[in-house]
Structure 1
Amino acid sequence: MTRPHAEIRSDVIVLGAGIVGVSVALHLQMRGRDVVLVDRRGIGEETSYGNAGLIERSSVIPYGFPRDLWTVLVYALNRSADVRTDWRFLPHIAPWLWRFWRESAPERLQMAAADMLPLLERSVIEHELLMTEAGILGQLRRTGWIGVYRSQKSLDQAAKSAVALESYGLRFDLLDSKALREREPHTSEALIGGIHWRDPASVPDPGGLVKGYADLFLRRGGRFVQGDADTLQQVGTDWTVGSGSSEVRAHDVVVALGPWSDTVLRPLGYRIPLAVKRGYHVHFKARAGSMLHHPVVDVDGGYLLAPMTRGIRLTTGVEFAARDSAPTPLQLARTEPLAREIFPLEKWIDPQPWMGARPCLPDMRPVIGAAPRHQGLWCAFGHNHQGLTLGPVTGRLLADLITGKEPFTDPRPYSIERFASRSRTFNPVM
């Protein structure tokens, strides 16, 4: 005779304890819902752990596919630190890349920017609200970030692009070599200038931020259990998911599993063109007496240095490879010498590099909202490079939709139904 499972009942199950899932859980809790947060690991230990810590208010134009042939060739031949492609994976990712290229046409890119703007405009505000509630507002750094350049040509091009964004109300300062050294005294003369984007904020420990939000959720009566999202099933009007010898049951379930979201939705009949852009980081000690005051992006070098609690974090660009294939931190090997040219780094702090996967959709918009063919099934994933940035604002929007409150913006651009008319199935994650 099979022993019956213990049952954990709630109003909502949130699958995924990264920044998006925790933010959704908190906002639902604020609206009076009893929520159980479920993850196979701990809180904030997957993609949310290993990013640059930026709340990127200034990225009003999504990260699109390059349109000029020369850049495409450089990327295709793996000649840039910005992007690396595992050639064995190319047949799988090629259809997705083709669609990404089409969606990056100037007119479509502007439409994506318009659709994303309502979320980005509230990104720092929503983090500030949650951090205040959680008692961790002191973690918020309102220093912005600085893009630095090694050649006058690239600086001039960047300045021209920055001026074109003035209509979005963004604040930025153009820095010559002297002004750059005033803001970052320990950067080297290899940098000839930069652009200081002043609207974004940052945090010194992204994984710790997620845990801080989760602590607030738990203090207010929320529950967290380790469980297997692959066991999700609909039973009558409820949803259930397994957690050890227990079963969690609720009327509503939110899929906020980042790069694993499609693996749960596919058995339910949803074919989402979700791909991953893998990335790496490692921490360094700074040379005695040296400090970095802002996150710094070496635009020509293709990497970012950020001052973190643990040390100076070097994060890489994009790697197109199978989500679960073995790490290949070649971009770290290529960018570390470049980073040492501009800032006095000492030895690694970490025993080995960290690797994570950014969940990306080819039209550069996340999925936020109801799944149309299943009552009580909701989605919040696919935030491209901006999961940390958009976690809290996504939580607010989805909680409004679930509880029937008037949302602060039109949610239709983020609907999963925009993929329903596509007859061809892409499965680039592997």
Structure 2
Amino acid sequence: MTATILVLGAGMVGTCTALHLQQRGFDVTLIDRRPPGQETSFGNAGLIQGESVEPYPFPRDPGFLLDVALGRGAEVHWHLRGLWQMAGPLLRYFRNSHPQAHTVATQHYSRLIAHATAEHAPLIAAAGAEDLVVREGFRFGFRTARAFDEGVQRARALEAGFGVRHRVEDGAALAKAEPALRQTLAGAVHWLDPWAVRNPGALVQRYAALFVARGGRVLTGDATTLQRAGAAWSVQTDAGRVEAAQAVLALGPWADGLIRTLGYRFPLFLKRGYHQHYRAPVTLRQPLLDAERGYVLAPMEQGLRLTTGAEFAPIDAPATPVQLAKAEALAREWVDLGEPVAGAPWLGARPCTADMLPVMGPAPRHPGLWFNFGHAHQGFTLGPVAGRLVAEMVAGERTWIDAGAYWPGRFG
């Protein structure tokens, strides 16, 4: 079987890349080992985060780092083997999180986030997915007055600098807006620009169905079988070996393993995360982040979803849902979660880069190969933006966003 271009990885980023290539006249085959939207894109908090204009920096507060080292708190968990494997990229991540360097990264990162909802909107409409999307924002909830004051100051700075809209709610206003809360908090910042998706995996599936309806092919295959033969790239699938003149790697946390076989050593690392659904008798109306403990509660079709912070561990390490247990105890202080929905907690991984910017553009030493990965916490948010940007590059168009900061060649 022959295609014009292969897209490896059928998460949000890969599926949107396939759609945008298709719109530009390419014959596209989308390949994954599992159906679309069943890996990293399945398990997030379902947020299209128009407010997230700053990439997450490496924490620099000594007290917080001590808590992490001693295993206190719910925000971060680590495996010693994971820290050892990621030591180099994590050190670069720490250096790049210096306030001056982080300001530069934010300039490049915010250009992508600024277009997130606008790029999702036409795909949501075309895919008939309006029923999955709630355009009412989400909240950062604060336990203490001090953290609330700091959160309000930060929100005002982001609105002044980037136009990110928000509303400040004191404890009484928050209690009125969210009757499910069982205690009065210090307050909340209600971000008004984000959209909440009540089933993230289903949204990717709707996008993939749109791709197929427009003539695209979705095949089950193994990206690790990628080979170059002459001027073509090929991958083994259930339908046989498929080849094309070009290929896009949109493999999220699995990208690093594949590009290493091609001789690339990028400063990449993983942040694993967990979720569990609960049968809350009264659910939240909008997603809510516990800003001082690092977990999110998000109402979903499957129940109230509790998502955790970051776990630094190898992608294939056994599940250690320590954070989930801690986050559940904290969340029950706020909401009557009810009983967990049957089934083991979900575990996934976020693909991160040491400079906090995604990797989008041509492979430096392999003609016809393109990279689109490393979107960290925001692959679900940035899928359509990243897909459009890489599709424009492949088509030889002038990109509507200056893409130099995301170029794979920046790592040498």
TM-score, structure 1 as length reference: 0.94
**RMSD (Å), alpha carbons:** 1.1
Tell me which of 258, 267, 272 is aligned to 1:264: 258
Shift of 1:88: 3.5
1:203 aligned residue: 197
Note closer, same or farther for the CA distance 1:245–1:186 as it changes in structure 2 (3 Å cut). closer
Shift of 1:350: 3.1
CA distance in 1, matches of 2:390, 2:235: 21
Shift of 1:404: 1.1
CA distance in 2, matches of 1:302, 1:266: 32
Shift of 1:51: 0.3
Shift of 1:291: 2.9
CA distance in 2, matches of 1:48, 1:245: 25
Tell me which of 25, 32, 37 is aligned to 1:39: 32
CA distance in 2, matches of 1:400, 1:97: 32
Tell me which of 177, 182, 185 is aligned to 2:176: 182
Aligned length: 411
Q: Kindly, what percent of the aligned residue pairs are identical?
A: 47
Decide whether the 8 Å contact of 1:238 with 1:251 is kept in 2. yes
2:277 aligned residue: 283
Tell me the secondary structure at the aligned position of residue 378 of structure 1. strand
Shift of 1:188: 2.2
Tell me the secondary structure at the aligned position of residue 351 of structure 1. coil
Tell me which of 82, 87, 98 is aligned to 1:105: 98
Task: Identify the range of structure 1 (294-303 vs 325-334) with the bigger mean alpha-carbon deviation.
Answer: 294-303
Equivalent residue runs for 1:326-405 within 5 Å:
326-405=318-397
1:233 is aligned to 2:203: no
CA deviation string 1:88-118 (max 9, x = no partner): 4322222222111000000110111100112
CA distance in 2, matches of 1:373, 1:300: 44
CA deviation string 1:299-350 (max 9, x = no partner): 1232100000110000000000111110000001111111111011100113
Shift of 1:33: 0.6
2:11 aligned residue: 18
Decide whether the 8 Å contact of 1:128 with 1:137 is kept in 2. no
Tell me the secondary structure at the aligned position of residue 390 of structure 1. helix
1:119 aligned residue: 112
2:72 aligned residue: 79
Shift of 1:87: 2.4
CA distance in 1, matches of 2:401, 2:74: 37
CA deviation string 1:246-303 (max 9, x = no partner): 110101100000011122211211111221100000000111xx23110000112321
The ranges of structure 1 where at least 4 consecutive aligned residues each deviate by more than 4 angstroms after the TM superposition are none
Shift of 1:190: 4.4
1:62 is aligned to 2:55: yes
Shift of 1:195: 0.6
Equivalent residue runs for 1:111-150 within 5 Å:
111-150=104-143
1:323 aligned residue: 315
CA distance in 1, matches of 2:176, 2:51: 22
TM-score, structure 2 as length reference: 0.98
Decide whether the 8 Å contact of 2:51 with 2:191 is kept in 1. yes
CA deviation string 1:342-392 (max 9, x = no partner): 011100113210000000001100001111211110010000100100001
The code of the aligned residue for 2:290 comes to D
1:51 is aligned to 2:49: no
Note closer, same or farther for the CA distance 1:36–1:245 as it changes in structure 2 (3 Å cut). closer
Task: Identify the range of structure 1 (324-333 vs 269-278) with the bigger mean alpha-carbon deviation.
Answer: 269-278
CA distance in 2, matches of 1:340, 1:315: 14
The code of the aligned residue for 1:253 comes to A
CA distance in 1, matches of 2:392, 2:294: 38
CA distance in 2, matches of 1:245, 1:50: 28
Q: List runs of 5+ in structure 2 lacking aligned partners.
A: none
Decide whether the 8 Å contact of 1:80 with 1:302 is kept in 2. no
